[in-house]
Amino acid sequence: MKKDLRYYWQRLGTLAIFVLLMIIMGIFSPQYFLSRNNIIQIFLQSSINVLIAIGVFFPILIAGIDLSVGSVLGLTGMVSALLMANGWDMWLALLVGGVLLGAFLGLLNGTLVVATKLHPFIITLGSNMIFRGLTLTISDARPVYNLPRQFSRTIAGYVGAIPVPVIIAISVAIIFAFVTKKTKLGRGIYALGGNEEAAWLSGINTKLLKVVVFVFSGLCAGMAGIVMTARMGAAEPLAGTGYESYAIASAIIGGTSFFGGIGNIFGVVVGALIIGLINNALNILNVQTYMQQIVMGLLIVGSVTLDRLLARGSKGE
């Protein structure tokens, strides 16, 4: 019956880990950890990572990668801040400097990947540096502060008890879950991830889809850039540095396969929440940040190993 175990693991394994961690923490520190405030805090702290992880999920789903998301976050956060600081209307600045710019940077990545036929690893390794360099250049390596009051109040504010970043992250998750599950576009991306040649011969426009997944990735990182700037009340030129590793880790912990074609948005979101949860827990338990990295690394290796083991189990041993 290992096959059944595998079946449930694929669908609910990440969720099980999440619940298990909650229970463990609940035992350690019931009053504080399980308080409503802290739980909202976990979601809030995870919102940026959730956004990036949803984006980076798409290139991984086609057996690629996007290493530039951290820099896309930095650049979009910076450009939208500069636009606002220069008197642009807030919403226009966010649309152009955040969302559209993010999508455009993804478009660049995707077009380069298709045109050069190089592995996305190489392309985005390069564009990661380029985007970061651009951010430092246009900002003179200095943070941008004088942003409209309304900006942080809106984007980093609350609706009732729920922080706006959480609402944004959840909305984006729902939209992309719909895209992956219910649209032909989503089906095409999974097909491309499963077998590019078969998808191509079946009449799926795999070249266009390859660009689309990077646009999604850039788009999400762009939104993360806006949220980041709003939460900090300023645009930092080095914002988002290294965030790609947390986003990729979220996708992997959430059950996305590096070989392509397997994974889903729900898993990715839970994966990102697990990372947020662990960070929060280690903070509460007063564990040093260096130690936190070690735990995170072990978690990634551990969860993927478990996944592999169960995959082998289903092959009939």
- In the complex, the residues that contact other proteins under the rule CB under 8 A are 1, 3-4, 182-188, 190-191, 193-195, 197-205, 207-209, 212, 260-262, 315-317
In the block, tokens 């912990």 appear at 253
Cα distances (angstroms) measured from residue 32 to each of 24, 285, 291, 292, 296: 13, 11, 22, 20, 22
Opening angle at CA 136, ends 154 and 143, nearest 5: 40
Q: How far is the CB of 208 from other proteins (least distance, A)?
A: 6
The structure tokens 């980076």 sit at 56
Whichever of 205 and 293 has its CB closer to other proteins, that residue is 205
CB contact set of 225 (below 8 Å; sequence gap of 6+): 72, 73, 74, 75, 76, 77, 78, 80, 98, 102, 239, 240
Quickly list DSSP for 81-99: HHHHHTT--HHHHIIIIII
Residue closer to other proteins (CB basis): 6 or 132: 6
Whose Cβ is closer to other proteins: residue 262's or residue 281's?
262
Burial of 38 (0-12, 13-18, 19+ CB in 10 A): middle
The span from the CA of 153 to the CA of 139, in Å, is: 23
Name the residue type at position 185.
Answer: L
Residues forming a β-bridge with 158: 163
Instruction: Find, among 207, 23, 177, the residue nearest to 110 by Cα.
Output: 207
Nearer to other proteins (CB atom), residue 198 or residue 294: 198
Shortest gap between Cβ of 310 and other proteins (angstroms)?
Answer: 14
Closest CB to other proteins among 137 and 205?
205
Closest separation in Å from C-beta 273 to other proteins: 25
**Among 288, 277, 13, 47, which Cα is nearest to 173's?**
47
CB of 126 to other proteins, least distance (A): 24
Closest Cα partner for 173 from 249, 103, 273? 273
Compute the least distance from the CB of residue 259 to other proteins, in Å: 9
Q: What is the CA radius of gyration of the chain?
A: 20
Give whichever of 36 and 315 is closer to other proteins, judged by the CB atom.
Answer: 315
CB atoms within 10 A of CB 293: 12
Q: Smallest gap, in angstroms, from Cβ of residue 313 to other proteins?
A: 12
Smaller CB separation from other proteins, 118 or 285: 118
CB of 223 to other proteins, least distance (A): 22
Minimum distance between the CB of residue 10 and other proteins, rounded to whole angstroms?
A: 11
What minimum distance in Å lies between the beta carbon of 204 and other proteins? 4
- Of 116 and 183, CB closest to other proteins: 183
| Amino acid found at 24 | I
Nearer to other proteins (CB atom), residue 62 or residue 224:
62
